[in-house]
Structure 1
């Protein structure tokens, strides 16, 4: 489901959306939130995301392959995708596109959720979620102790990085340069890979990251 908008020329287009439902409890969220859709919970509100686009899913899948492959090769921990639940604290429940938990903290993986904070969170943003991802989520992740938070914006072709050890939590936007993670030692990507159509072969990119020929 998407919101239908009529433009000045009379054309109907579908826009991504965030729907907020008030009056929920965390217990109700865990009982009723669907497993196949992105629903998040924060301080009495359920936040429902519009369905992901194919472009969004391709990009999330590409990043998951790279990060998961690297983390497994190095034995660093575990990588999860939403709608896996990251419980940052009681009353703050998010379903990030992609998040990493280092090996020493895997005891926080519970039956229904992962007890946070995560070490790394990545969100692929859209016009409908841009403000939510860059402002609201950044504040929540910073306050809950997420070490590194990246927002990938394909429309603007930029990645905004937030790091807990950086003043103001925000490092800045990157368009094409190489980006090295501080939360996942040794992991990096070429930001330019993210804007290619089609995306580059993920296995070739992973081998570059691992330093293989």
Structure 2
């Protein structure tokens, strides 16, 4: 039986528990629903959500969202991805800014995660990075129309300004958005 410890911010039972706020929860849910709808229409991969493990050698990470394409050679078991995800997404929480922009940035880069997205609802800022030929992340901006497109997800367009809407679109609106996105890109 574990011992509960109050550290002034969270109740733990022998495990490190991350704090999140309502905005973090909403952004993570929005992105997960958006990507799940995309993969339902175009089944080229899947999403894994926190606390699902990504294990690189002896290091264990738990990104908010991992995107694993069918072409990814990493071993996926019921409990962990052993190898690098294709895309890792971290939604910045009040206590995770330094970790998301620093420690995890360096770790994911070194591990060979092809893309790293940082979504910061506190600052209404998103950053998208892709591994360059030299194995280092290069920052990539959204296009002039305000959408971020990744070469890893054909037909996927993330309308970045939508991330800052209050409230964020719900599941029905997201489904319609993704259907329109895929149809538009198919024409």
For normalisation by structure 1, the TM-score amounts to 0.71
Any idea what the Cα deviations from partners look like across 1:99-128, whole Å, max 9, x if unmatched? Answer: 111112376111321112000111100231
| Equivalent of 1:97 in 49, 56, 64 | 64
For normalisation by structure 2, the TM-score amounts to 0.80
**How large is the RMSD of aligned CA atoms in angstroms?**
2.9
Aligned residues: 174
Q: How does 1:1-213 map to 2 (within 5 A)?
A: 48-87=16-55, 89-105=56-72, 108-165=75-132, 168-171=136-139, 177-200=146-169, 201-211=173-183
Any idea what the Cα deviations from partners look like across 1:38-92, whole Å, max 9, x if unmatched? Answer: xxxxxxxxxx3433222211111111111111123112021110111111x2221
Q: CA deviation at 1:208?
A: 2.9
Which consecutive segments of 4 or more residues in structure 1 shift more than 6 A? none
Gaps of 5+ in 2: none
Rate the CA distance shift 1:170–1:107 in 2: closer, same or farther, 3 A. closer
Rate the CA distance shift 1:193–1:166 in 2: closer, same or farther, 3 A. farther
Rate the CA distance shift 1:127–1:107 in 2: closer, same or farther, 3 A. closer
1:11 alignment counterpart: none
Q: CA deviation at 1:140?
A: 0.6
